[in-house]
Amino acid sequence: MNKKIIITIDGFSSCGKSTLARQLASKLSYVFIDSGAMYRAITLYFLRNHVDWKNKKEVRSALENINLEFVLNPQTGKSDMHLNDENVEALIRDMLVSENVSDVSTDAEVRNFAVTQQRKIGEKKGIVMDGRDIGSTVFPDAELKIFMTADIAIRVERRFKELFEKNPSITIEEVTNNLAMRDYIDSSREVSPLRKAEDAFVLDNTNLTMEEQLKIALKWAKEKLP
């Protein structure tokens, strides 16, 4: 019997899903998968190659030329997103990608492409995957599903601090608009919109430290481990 489980973490943008997923995976010796990185890498490819993502034919042929891989970076100990053998981990966090990724992610073929790979990664279990539709669509039978949320003001503050370090010209207004727009598009799209799976535990971390949220999630995980 496989003693490993699948843990999904979904929620709004900049709730700290990846941080929690990474910490949880490390505590359990599981693999952390940032599904958003896949959508970001696809978006980067489309932008670079001037792919019109409203054109189904263009999307289909572009996807045939995209190879995505998570590759361990020995310097950081983290997995980096590689797009056609190029490390794009830093590039996919650019504002231009952030501004377009939600729109690209509404496309059914793009989602099918990403979801197929996500399910393949999950075959052996022992993963913590974060995203928007992981508990609701990608792994509806996951043993533990967490839905994260936090006040928008807190999320903007956290995201702003993170982005400001790399780009001091970024403004609070830009970050606020980007988060609000992504939340709206991600929640209202037709194909697997962001929503809490019925059996997901809600984790509102507005007033929680990272240690506190990890403690709560670990407790839930231990209850589900065989």
Residue type, 71: V
Stretch touching ligand DC by CB under 6 A, among 23-31, 125-133, 166-174, 216-224: 125-133
Site pattern 76..105 for ligand DC (x: CB under 6 A): -------------------------xx--x
134 binding ligand DC? (CB under 6 A)? yes
122 binding ligand DC? (CB under 6 A)? no
Q: How far is CA 67 from CA 10, 21, 33, 89, in A?
A: 24, 24, 16, 14
The count of chain residues that interact with ligand DC, using the rule CB under 6 A, is 14
155 binding ligand DC? (CB under 6 A)? no
39 binding ligand DC? (CB under 6 A)? yes
8 binding ligand DC? (CB under 6 A)? no
Site pattern 167..186 for ligand DC (x: CB under 6 A): ---------------x---x
d(CA 158, CA 201): 23
131 binding ligand DC? (CB under 6 A)? yes
HSE (CB half, 13 Å, CA atoms) of 20?
32
DSSP for residue 93? G
Residue among 98, 125, 119, 112 at smallest CA distance from 6:
125
d(CA 18, CA 35): 9
20 binding ligand DC? (CB under 6 A)? no
Residue 65 CB burial class (10 angstroms; 0-12, 13-18, ≥19): exposed
User: Which stretches of the chain bind ligand DC, using CB under 6 A?
Assistant: 13, 35-36, 39-40, 101-102, 105, 131-134, 182, 186
